[in-house]
Amino acid sequence: MEYYVIIGCGAAGMAAAERLRRLKPDASIVMVSKDEHSHSRCMLHKYLGGERDVEGLAFTDEDFFEKNHIYWSRGQAVKRVDTAAKKVILEDGELVYDKLLIASGAVYSVPPIPNFRTADNVYGFRDLSDAVKIRKAVEEKNAKHVFIVGSGLVGLDVAYALLEQGVKVTIAEMADRILPLQTDATSAGAYQELFEKAGASFRLGIGASDSKVNDKNEITHVILANGEEIPCDFVVAAAGVRPCIDFLKDSGLEMERSLKVNEYLRTSDPDVYAAGDVTGLSGIWPNAMDQGRKAAMNMAGMPVAYTDSFCIKNTINFFGLAMLSAGDIEPKDDSCQVYTKESRSEYKKAIVKDGIVTGIQLQGDISGSGFWQHLIKNKIDISGLLKEKNIFHISYADFYGLDSTGEYIYSGQC
Ligand SMILES: Cc1cc2nc3c(=O)[nH]c(=O)nc-3n(C[C@H](O)[C@H](O)[C@H](O)COP(=O)(O)OP(=O)(O)OC[C@H]3O[C@@H](n4cnc5c(N)ncnc54)[C@H](O)[C@@H]3O)c2cc1C
């Protein structure tokens, strides 16, 4: 009997388990997770806003573990991994493995602002347990005003859920616009307007530098770098995450900021693999799942390289305004061409370098998202088409297929 152990039941762990079971019908597969419930982090704001209950955050069938004959040790933190003895040490026991997958994700970071790391009312937003704490804080404190550090997807998810419950939010962002990793000034402006209409207040290009606490060790005011004091019932830190590797420090596995893996998602130990946010290769859901599946194949002896270095892409939807953002947000240098189209209801921006699309933003109308991602991912040269067509009118219909050298052929080339 072969023994497989998977640490983590998030996107990467679950995708790996499912694939491993298909490839190894007779093996023993054990999963262990700190999480009591396997849940989608992308949906957490729906729980926070009261739109979904815990069951509504699941992203696999209810009978996933039974159906796949997988033993799940839930609500258990792995204390350490002993790679020499091939053991995973738990709080109350240990698991032996032939092959181990580490899919422990990431943890949120709290910025080093006075009191932020020690006060009792600073929360992160990564796990269901964080959402439960924030919900409880809203109810118990009858919260009226919350301060959020960071206006990325996580910070805005929290803001959105709190605004829906009538709680006012102030969001501080060091960049000059919100969602700085996904938007430019125009697309960010559209979201900012919607959030402000709903009662949010932004402080852009400025950070928090200090805070005041009361005798219960709770932050009551956050002080910005310009001296402005913002009152709050509690604080949410949404300014970044780091790979969850602290429990691996004595494992002998090679790590820097993240757990190091090679192209086969294998760590420095030949029997230990890793997938998802813990590898630092990407920080998004679909890539974590893809890595999980590929790691499982490698663990099962079917070598497959993880080569998808595809740019970060996000689909966003706040207040009904949908957006796709993939690749570059701004041109990297003067040789890039920037194409834009703007109307009351939509905004499009494409960045092209040497005939290859390197970035796309579609806001309002995200039809054709798959096509644009395909162009970027496959680095398809559209310079010929650009001579005769508006870039935003190009579609799959303009291509016949691949020629004998593997290059795409435009209709105009035939
Ligand atoms: C609020 C929020 C919104 C997001 N929105 C989006 C989005 O819209 N689109 C998108 O693509 N991505 C989004 N992401 C990112 C996405 O959720 C992650 O990229 C994805 O969850 C990574 O999957 P993972 O399996 O690597 O880690 P995770 O899903 O974090 O799973 C980690 C697992 O490891 C377990 N674990 C950790 N340490 C231990 C330990 N010591 N012992 C036992 N178990 C342990 C945890 O309990 C958990 O089960 C969002 C993330 C957050 C937090």
The CA-based dihedral angle spanning residues 261, 264, 268, 274, taken in that order and rounded to the nearest 10 degrees = 60
Cα–Cα distance, 282 to 394 (Å, whole number): 29
Q: What is the mean pLDDT of residues 201-216?
A: 97
pLDDT digit string, tens, across residues 43-71: 999 999 999 999 999 999 999 999 999 99
Residue 199 has pLDDT above 90, yes or no: yes
Give, in words, the CATH class of 122-239.
Answer: alpha beta
Q: Does 3-107+242-299 match 122-239 in CATH topology?
A: yes
What class does CATH assign to 313-413?
alpha beta
**C-alpha to C-alpha distances, 22 to 3, 15, 159, 290, 293, nearest whole angstrom:** 15, 11, 40, 16, 11
The number of the ligand 1 atom at minimal distance from the alpha carbon of 11 is 25
pLDDT tens digit sequence for 294-348: 999 999 999 999 986 555 678 899 999 999 999 999 999 999 999 999 998 999 9
Look up residue 326 and give its DSSP letter: E
- For residue range 118-172, list pLDDT tens digits in order: 999 999 999 999 999 999 999 998 999 999 999 999 999 999 999 999 999 999 9
Ligand 1 center–CA 127 separation, angstroms:
7
Q: Which residue's CA is minimally distant from atom 50 of ligand 1?
A: 42
Which pLDDT score is estimated for 356?
A: 95
Residue 377: which pLDDT band, with cuts at 50, 70 and 90? confident
Residue nearest to atom 52 of ligand 1 (CA): 41
Phi/psi of residue 360, nearest 5 degrees = -145, 140
Q: What is the mean pLDDT of residues 170-176?
A: 97
Give residue limits of the domains in the chain.
Answer: 3-107+242-299, 122-239, 313-413
**Rounded Cα–Cα distance for residues 363 and 19 (Å):** 35
Q: Which pLDDT tens digit goes with each residue over 7-27?
A: 999 999 999 999 999 999 999
Instruction: Round to whole Å and give the CA distance between 197 and 302.
Output: 53
Query: 222: CA distance to ligand 1 center in Å?
Result: 29
Closest C-alpha to ligand 1, atom 53: 126
pLDDT for residue 352 is more than 70: yes
Using a pLDDT cut of 70, give the percent of the chain over it.
95
Specify the DSSP class assigned to residue 251: S
Q: Do the beta carbons of residue 327 and residue 359 sit within 8 Å?
A: yes
pLDDT at 74: 95
pLDDT of 378 reads: 87
Q: Ligand 1: does its nearest atom lie under 6 Å from the Cβ of 295?
A: no
Strands 219-224 vs 208-213: parallel, antiparallel or unpaired: antiparallel
Kindly list the distances between the CA atom of residue 316 and the CA atoms of 197, 203, 217, 307, in Å, as whole numbers in the listed order: 18, 21, 36, 25
What is the model's pLDDT at position 397?
87
Confidence of residue 39 (pLDDT cuts 50, 70, 90): very high
Residue 402, phi then psi, degrees to nearest 5: -100, 140
The Å distance, Cα 169 to ligand 1 centre, comes to 25
The number of beta carbons lying within 10 Å of the beta carbon of residue 29 is 23
Q: Whose CA is nearest to atom 15 of ligand 1?
A: 284
**Cα atoms in the 13 Å half-sphere on the side-chain side of 9:** 26
Q: Distance (Å, rounded) from C-alpha 155 to C-alpha 20?
A: 35
285 lines ligand 1 (CB under 6 A): yes
Residue 28 phi, psi (nearest 5): -85, 125
What is each CA distance from 265 to 186, 282, 294, in whole angstroms? Answer: 38, 13, 8
358 CA → ligand 1 middle, Å: 27
Spatial strand order in the sheet of 208-213: 208-213, 219-224, 229-231
CA distance linking residue 109 with residue 238, whole number of Å? 8
User: How many whole angstroms separate alpha carbon 257 and alpha carbon 266?
Assistant: 17
Q: 393's torsion region: left (phi>0), alpha (psi -120 to 50) or beta?
A: alpha
Element at 155 (helix H, strand E): helix 153-164
pLDDT value at residue 188: 98
Q: Which residues of 323-334 are buried (b: 16+ CB within 10 A; e: fewer)?
A: bbbbbbbeeeee
- Write down the mean pLDDT value for the chain: 94
Provide mean pLDDT across the span 273-288.
Answer: 94
Helices 153-164, 185-197: inter-axial angle, 10-degree rounding: 20
103 lines ligand 1 (CB under 6 A): yes
Assigned CATH for 3-107+242-299:
3.50.50.60
Distance 305 CA to ligand 1 centre (A): 22
Which tens digit of pLDDT belongs to each residue from 391-411? 999 998 888 766 666 666 665
The whole-number pLDDT of residue 414 equals 42
pLDDT score recorded for residue 406: 62
CA nearest ligand 1 atom 44, residue: 33
Q: Look at residue 313 in the predicted model and tell me its pLDDT.
A: 72
